[in-house]
Chain A
Amino acid sequence: MTDATSQPIPQQRKNIFQLLELDTRLLGMVGAFIILCIGFNLFTDGRFLTPRNVFNLTIQTVSVAIMACGMVFVIVTRHIDLSVGALLATCSAIMAMTQTAFLPDVLGMELGNPMIAPIAIVVGIVAGTAIGAFHGWMIGYLTIPAFIVTLGGLLVWRNVGWFLTRGQTIGPLDTNFQIFGGTNGTLGPTMSWILGVIAALAAIAGIWNARRAKSAHGFPVKPVWAELTLSGISAAVILGFIATLNAYQIPQGRLRRMFEASGETMPEGYSIGYGLPVSVLLLIVIAVSMTIVARRTRFGRYIFATGGNPDAAELSGVNTRMLTVKIFALMGALCAISAVVASARLTNHTNDIGTLDELRVIAAAVIGGTALAGGMGTIHGAILGALIMQSLQSGMAMVGVDAPYQNIVVGIVLVLAVFIDIVYRKRTGDA
């Protein structure tokens, strides 16, 4: 220890980004996102950045963003999953059939039974995990390329979903199940503020904990003002987000119906904000967990090692075949969770649910900096990628761009984003 710390650590002149140890690539993406938002806001006469639209944007992004978290691991290990949209449809169909047909008809549970939603969700997640693990087994142990396995999976699961429901729309879904949909499940302003403050404190504690761990081993740390700035920015972003969601007021008509449903009359002039949607909270929990998995667990370390050099990982004793099974099983579980959010938002299972989601999910991960060559990618990048895609889409819709032009623009942005990334990596010398 002493001979390690006695080494002089060369102090070079650093610019502000290096001092803050911020990822300049991430900053670029955040910058692009901010410009995008401000641009749309100008073209829509300020309708884009209203609490209402921010609220809608976040709940529209959740389903794709949850799957993008799993897609990061898949792409980092040099695989691809083309079946996520179809798998979402199958999971959604299984959960819809479980809660509307199997539990009431076969087990005789009454509709509205509080156990229906949890049972349906567990059944869906088990099914998604099993299907994903099966894909992973074919890829890892039978060495069939992931592209082929999941291309086949796309056709199979899209139509298994169709078969299970005979193509019908299934609904309305259980009211407890619908909590995960967005507007039907929000925490309200008080609870949202409490969670926001806890999250802000946790972020600050995380920053200072990391600093303490570093200095305990005598490693160089950032200047205190840099840590303070980072802490301040993190807290401001979290609380600002909560304030925006709280500012979106529940419409009066809806509020009156809610009071009537509980047998009370609404006081005159009463109004209350939506607050944090449960689905967004779910995304945040998944994103934080997946980030911890990626950075602080052996599983995550092996994912990145395998992506960087599969032979090296294998020679170092990593069981890369089993790793592939686990990654695809995790992807399947996340597809099932996305299916909960997507079908709950529609309050029905529809036959075309999740159509083309595989492309949105892959695009989100890639725009978010996940390299198809493997070994590189972040969870927060993928979520930001999903948010950028969704903002582009709904922003253009608000401006009044015709549907075909919307898709043309999204396609061009995807290619352009990857090109800019390649140029950036060449300049900075990152692999």
Chain B
Amino acid sequence: MTTPLVEMRNMSISFGGIKAVDDVSVDLHPGEVVGLLGHNGAGKSTLIKMLSGAYGPDAGEIYINGERATITNPRDARSYNIETIYQTLALADNLDAASNLFLGRELVTPLGLVNDSAMEAETRKIMARLNPNFQKFNAPVSALSGGQRQSVAIARAVYFNARILIMDEPTAALGPQETQMVAELIKKLKADGIGIFLIDHDVHAVLDLCDRASVMKNGKLVGTVNTKDVTDDDLLSMIILGKNPNDAAA
């Protein structure tokens, strides 16, 4: 097998004595979508925030392309081309779409000043591909609908040539049509060779979009399965009972 794009080995982190993530290992290959499933509070988002640099782990190692990576803050993660779409979207509500898209990576003029019109032009270009209905380029994102805000967050992750994409419940706030749009985007990015961690509640969506699924319960990894080999009932029993179907078979 090829070198994994991402390998997280024996990751642990505690908050005030509670082990939010306890000795969890997952990996991700180029062009692969790995689903992370589990109840609320199972530790999915926390696990992934150690990869995106929002939390520093208590224990565990991260390897990117087989090399040990030190990720202590979001800037480190970005330097490894890891992009994240957070559940909360992480948008500055008082700024417009272009300012959010380029936040932390602004385009500047030769004088070093922020080049708003160039950023707006780039934003118009990428939005024309992602969400052609998007028109509110000069409004603060607080004035946008849930779906429009989501497309700003997605555009931000996609624009900067991510190699590793983390999507934390990307369709939580979306209607059916927009959900379909995200599904197609995931397929397209996968075809481009990008590795995607997809955190979701919806077992069917995970079976549909993901190559493998890792299930977590109470901070521990229940198991990782190939989605081809399991039914939605298998996944549900992993989530609810914490039972690994491979163990039962053995």
Q: Mark B82-114, 1 if CB is under 8 A from A, else 0.
A: 001010111111110001100111101000111
Cβ contacts under 8 Å, B73 to chain A: 317
User: Is B90's CB under 8 angstroms from A312's CB?
Assistant: yes
Q: Say which residue of B52, B75, B91, B125 sits within 8 Å of A312 (CB atoms).
A: B91
> Within 8 Å of chain A (Cβ to Cβ): is B245?
no
Interface segment among B31-39, B135-143, B180-188, B235-243: the answer is B135-143
Q: Which of A1-26 contact B (CB under 8 A)?
A: 1, 3-5, 7, 9-10
> Within 8 Å of chain B (Cβ to Cβ): is A147?
no
Tell me the bound Cα distance from A30 to B91 in angstroms.
32
Interface segment among B2-10, B59-67, B116-124, B209-217: the answer is B116-124
User: Is A309's CB under 8 angstroms from B90's CB?
Assistant: yes
Cβ contacts under 8 Å, A254 to chain B: none
Cβ contacts under 8 Å, B90 to chain A: 309, 311-312, 315-316
User: Is A316's CB under 8 angstroms from B74's CB?
Assistant: yes
Tell me the bound Cα distance from A308 to B96 in angstroms.
11
Q: Shortest CB–CB separation between residue A406 and chain B, in angstroms?
A: 35
CB-nearest residue of chain A relative to B141? A308
> Within 8 Å of chain B (Cβ to Cβ): is A272?
no
Q: Shortest CB–CB separation between residue B23 and chain A, in angstroms?
A: 26
Q: Say which residue of A9, A214, A305, A318 sits within 8 Å of B95 (CB atoms).
A: A305
User: Is B106's CB under 8 angstroms from A304's CB?
Assistant: no
User: Is A1's CB under 8 angstroms from B92's CB?
Assistant: no
> Within 8 Å of chain A (Cβ to Cβ): is B172?
no
Cβ contacts under 8 Å, A9 to chain B: 135
Tell me the bound Cα distance from A308 to B103 in angstroms.
12
User: Is A296's CB under 8 angstroms from B94's CB?
Assistant: no
Cβ contacts under 8 Å, B114 to chain A: 295-298, 300-301
- Chain B: interface residue total (CB-CB under 8 A): 41
Interface centre among A5, A313, A315, A376 (most CB of B within 10 A): A315
Q: Shortest CB–CB separation between residue A210 and chain B, in angstroms?
A: 9
Cβ contacts under 8 Å, A318 to chain B: 103-104
Cβ contacts under 8 Å, B78 to chain A: 317
Q: Say which residue of B84, B92, B128, B135 sits within 8 Å of A309 (CB atoms).
A: B92
Tell me the bound Cα distance from A317 to B83 in angstroms.
11
Number of A-B contacts (CB under 8 A): 103
User: Is A1's CB under 8 angstroms from B103's CB?
Assistant: no
Q: Say which residue of A313, A315, A375 sits within 8 Å of B52 (CB atoms).
A: A315
User: Is A301's CB under 8 angstroms from B94's CB?
Assistant: no
Q: Say which residue of B91, B117, B143 sits within 8 Å of A429 (CB atoms).
A: B143
User: Is B94's CB under 8 angstroms from A375's CB?
Assistant: yes
Given A1-B125, A315-B74: A375 in contact with B92 (beta carbons within 8 A): yes
Tell me the bound Cα distance from A306 to B117 in angstroms.
22
Which secondary structure dominates chain A's binding surface?
Answer: helix
> Within 8 Å of chain A (Cβ to Cβ): is B16?
no
Given A7-B132, A217-B120, A311-B88: A317 in contact with B94 (beta carbons within 8 A): no
> Within 8 Å of chain B (Cβ to Cβ): is A431?
yes
> Within 8 Å of chain B (Cβ to Cβ): is A352?
no
Q: Say which residue of A217, A219, A298 sits within 8 Å of B106 (CB atoms).
A: A298
Q: Mark A315-333, 1 if CB is under 8 A from B, else 0.
A: 1111100000000000000
> Within 8 Å of chain B (Cβ to Cβ): is A314?
yes
User: Is B125's CB under 8 angstroms from A3's CB?
Assistant: yes
Given A4-B125, A219-B120: A296 in contact with B113 (beta carbons within 8 A): yes
Tell me the bound Cα distance from A7 to B93 in angstroms.
25
Tell me the bound Cα distance from A313 to B94 in angstroms.
12
> Within 8 Å of chain B (Cβ to Cβ): is A423?
no
Interface centre among A9, A213, A304, A305 (most CB of B within 10 A): A305
> Within 8 Å of chain A (Cβ to Cβ): is B54?
yes
Cβ contacts under 8 Å, B88 to chain A: 311
Q: Mark A285-305, 1 if CB is under 8 A from B, else 0.
A: 000000010011110111011
Q: Shortest CB–CB separation between residue B52 and chain A, in angstroms?
A: 7
Q: List 25 A-B contacts (CB under 8 A).
A: A1-B121, A4-B127, A4-B128, A10-B135, A217-B118, A217-B120, A298-B106, A298-B108, A301-B103, A302-B104, A304-B92, A304-B94, A305-B92, A305-B100, A311-B88, A312-B100, A312-B103, A314-B54, A315-B86, A315-B90, A316-B90, A317-B105, A375-B94, A429-B143, A431-B142
The residues of B with any CB-CB pair to A shorter than 8 Å are 52, 54, 73-75, 78, 84, 86, 88-95, 99-100, 103-106, 108, 112-114, 116-118, 120-121, 124-125, 127-129, 132, 135, 140, 142-143
Given contacts A217-B118, A431-B93, 19 further A-B contacts (CB under 8 A): A3-B125, A3-B129, A4-B125, A9-B135, A216-B117, A219-B120, A296-B113, A300-B114, A301-B106, A305-B92, A305-B100, A308-B92, A309-B91, A316-B74, A317-B78, A317-B105, A318-B104, A375-B94, A431-B94
Minimum-distance CB pairs A-B, first 8: A4-B124, A308-B94, A308-B92, A317-B104, A375-B94, A316-B104, A312-B90, A305-B92
